[in-house]
Structure 1
Amino acid sequence: MARIEGNKFVIAGGLSQIGSEITQHLLRGGAREVVLFDNFALGTMDTVSGVVSDPRVTFARGDILRTNELFDAFENAAGVFAVAGFLTLPLSLNPQLGLAVNVQGMLNICEASRYRGGVKVIFASSVAVYGETEEDVTTEKAPWVWSGQQPGAVLYGGSKIIGENLGRLYHSRYGVPFVSLRYSSVYGERQHRRAVNSAYIVDTIESIRQGKRPVIPDDGSEVHDYIHIHDIARANVMAMESEASGESYNVATGVSTSLNELVGIILKQMGSDLEPEHRKIEGKIRATVSSTLKFSNAKIVQQLGWRPEISIEEGLRRIIAWSAEEAAAS
């Protein structure tokens, strides 16, 4: 257990969308210091503009591939949120660096935590560890079904499986407190273009704003469990303050939304009467294409008391409003 109030925390990948949201929750929880550890390769100061004025927030330019820099950042820290990593799309474009960051980088975080006396690690994993799950309801015990997936998706899911088991190894061998959180499709304000499923939301919003018909891949029956960054950050903070260690949790709403439903909600909220266009998109990198998908969040509800608070309708309303502000400012 790492109490938030009065303690120091490090966010590896602190300039990310999720890192920024976790920072806000830590500050509201009374954290003494939040170190945003980042190599500035993808993240920018714009992402954390809402917290830079808080004197408790400090920045450490560093790379998780350089262990000595993690040693320095972890000094006197109670916990680290391991958010840094390559998602499916960038990993498929640069597998050499992507696998190094996701695998060796996670090993370095575990080693730095051990070196600093057992800093609690909350690892940003993914439901990609299940691949194209064949379960009616996917619990944390479901196997990885990767046959038929695109190579980039398999490499990403495999890297998250390795990351989780590095944490479990350090938990069992060295007593390093470790929890992995398996996110479903994360979306929300400050959305970037590197997350395959969530980038589609922003692309659709922008198309509609420009008066273009939104394009829905295939017949639109593909479903995803969209989880808002507010609920992701809450899960991270609750996992950090819990007694849990060596555990993995699905962080998902348990609600499946098809692409047809998703686009329909966006069109309604934007007051548009545009008709969607269904089209097969050749060469597009996709994580999953299942039309039947349901993730169970029963374990995290029972053990940590976490429940999602943001519905897909409310989450889309927020990201549409954020997107409009961004468009007005550009």
Structure 2
Amino acid sequence: GPERGGAQHMSILVVGGAGFIGRRMIPILAAAGHDITCMDIDVATASAAFASLGGKVKVVRGDVTQFDDVIGAVQESRAERLINLSYFIGDLAPHVAFKLELQGMDNCFEAARRLGVRHTVFASSVAVSGQQSRFGERLVDESDERYGESQYAVNKIINEWQAHDYRRAYGMTITCIRPANVTGPDKKFGSIDHVNCMCQPARGKPVTFPYADTMRCVIHVEDMAEAMARVLLADKPRHTTYNSGGVTISLGELAVLVREVLPDADIRFEAATGGREKSGNFLIDNRRLVEEFGVQLKPLRQRVREVINDVRVAEGLPPVA
């Protein structure tokens, strides 16, 4: 394709692009001049999300569990890049979870293989690591053991194996990104205590949590989308796996940041302590991503204010200066 700013225009297929992260990542890729196809089962949400981008994003209905849908979208888009973001955070019936999360991922990898997609990316999760207590009080990096036990975590661990298997068998370039606790005003699934800690007070509602010392590693969805876009656009990243990292913070500390913006926020904790030892991996080494891709996270204080104001505007309330 033609050169712009030293980067090729590429054809990119985003599977599950109408979701929480995809809605932020696709505009970044479109702004860089790439040709984007969003395949999602929810065409209405996708079409509404990308309407303002004019003809830069093509939305196609597809079900990631159906191989014909996936390979059809890869063929039609002539994709040089594929990223799979379709998943369900939480527990599904095992049969459904297998189809969506394991068969769906295999469909993406096999379609990419058959049609010669040059670089395939998928979202794993911090959840693969399991509890922080497994590692002690130290940063966890991409080479560490994985102890995740939930359906979601184990399926992500299996996805990482699937990627390894395709690399081993075919020499494909498949990159795994492990987002930490992604936050944003419209997050509905997965870890949402950190979301509720900001969003409920923004709506003028009280919120209560079991422990003030529950730990999270928080990354704003826009920072996550930017990091994913950078990795996806690379021809061949140096590593197969990248932690997103984020800001390590307790819910109690997050409440302090919220009260800086909303002094009257009613945020309560049933206990001061007891959460830290139950927390998932929250000390995360993201040097690979930072050093190779120059990813810089915006300060959490700024992001807290943005999330609060995004919620207030959506609710018809005046933003906080």
Structure-1-length-normalised TM-score: 0.83
**Within the alignment, does 1:142 sit opposite 2:144 as a pair?**
yes
Q: Would you say the 8 A contact 1:14–1:83 is kept in 2? A: yes
Partner of 2:252: 260
RMSD (CA atoms)? 2.5
SS at match of 1:215: strand
Query: Following TM superposition, by how much is the alpha carbon of 1:203 offset from its aligned partner in structure 2, in angstroms?
Result: 2.8
Amino acid at match of 1:26: L
Identity %: 22
Paired AA for residue 207 in structure 1: Q
What whole-Å deviation, never above 9, does each CA across 1:62-96 have from its counterpart, x for those lacking one? Answer: 11111111111112111011111111x2xx14343
CA–CA distance in structure 1, aligned partners of residues 31 and 256 of structure 2: 35
Q: Which moved more, 1:120-129 or 1:290-299?
A: 290-299
Counterpart CA distance in 2 for 1:181 and 1:292 is 15
Displacement of 1:209: 4.2
Q: Does 1:11 align with 2:19?
A: no
State the SS of the aligned residue for 2:54: coil
Q: Give 4+ residue runs of structure 1 displaced > 6 Å after superposition.
A: none
Is 1:326 aligned to 2:314, yes or no? yes
Structure 2: tracts of 5 or more residues without a match: 1-5
1:193 paired to 2:188: yes
The 2-side partners of 1:140 and 1:15 are apart by 28
* Alpha-carbon spacing, 1:20–1:316, altered in 2? closer, same or farther (3 Å): same
Instruction: Judge conservation of contact 2:199–2:307 (CA < 8 Å) in 1.
Output: no
**Contact 1:17 1:47 (C-alpha < 8 Å) held by counterparts:** no
Aligned partner letter, 2:147: V
> Is the 2:11–2:81 contact (alpha carbons within 8 Å) kept by the matching residues of 1?
yes
Q: Which residue of 1 aligns with 2:298?
A: 310
**Alpha-carbon distance in 1 for matches of 2:21, 2:228:** 10
The answer to whether the Cα contact below 8 Å between 1:178 and 1:246 also exists between their aligned partners in 2 is no
18, 23, 26: which one aligns with 1:20: 23
Structure 1 CA distance for aligned equivalents of residues 31 and 8 of structure 2: 9
1:180 aligns with 2:184: no
Residue 39 to residue 81, structure 1, CA distance change in 2 (3 Å): same
Q: Write the letter of the residue equivalent to 2:40.
A: D
Contact kept in structure 2, 1:82 and 1:122, CA below 8 Å? yes
Shift in Å, 1:277: 2.2
Kindly indicate whether the alpha-carbon contact (under 8 Å) linking 2:119 and 2:174 is maintained by their aligned counterparts in 1.
Answer: yes
Residue 144 of structure 1, CA deviation: 1.8
Q: 1:4 Cα deviation (Å)?
A: 6.0
CA positional deviation for 1:29: 1.3
Change (3 A) 1:272 1:4: farther
In the alignment, is the contact (CA less than 8 A) between 2:128 and 2:157 conserved in 1? yes
CA pair 172-262 structure 1, distance change in 2 beyond 3 A = same
Q: Tell me by how many angstroms 1:201 deviates.
A: 3.6
SS in structure 1 at match of 2:187 = coil
Asked whether the 8 Å contact 1:35–1:58 carries over to 2, the reply is: yes
**Separation (CA, whole Å) in 1 of partners of 2:256 and 2:242:** 30
Matches within 5 A, 1:271-290: 271-272=263-264, 274=266, 276-279=267-270, 289-290=278-279
Tell me what 1:223 maps to: 215
Contact 2:40 2:60 in 1 (8 A): yes
Structure 1's 96 and 192: CA in aligned 2 closer, same or farther, altered over 3 A?
A: farther
| Alignment match of 2:207 (pick from 214, 217, 230) | 214
Whether the 8 Å CA contact 1:22–1:234 is kept in 2: the answer is yes
CA distance in 1, matches of 2:54, 2:238: 31
Paired residue for 2:101? 102
CA gap of 1:291–1:17, structure 2 versus 1, over 3 A, is closer
Q: 1:212 to 1:68 in 2, by over 3 A?
A: closer
Q: Secondary structure at the match of 1:272?
A: coil
TM normalised by structure 2 equals 0.86
Letter in 1 for 2:10: N
Distance apart, 1:323 and its partner CA: 0.6
Partner AA of 2:17 in structure 1? G
Instruction: Count how many residue pairs are aligned between Structure 1 and Structure 2.
Output: 302
Paired with 2:36 and 2:281, the residues of 1 have a C-alpha distance of 40
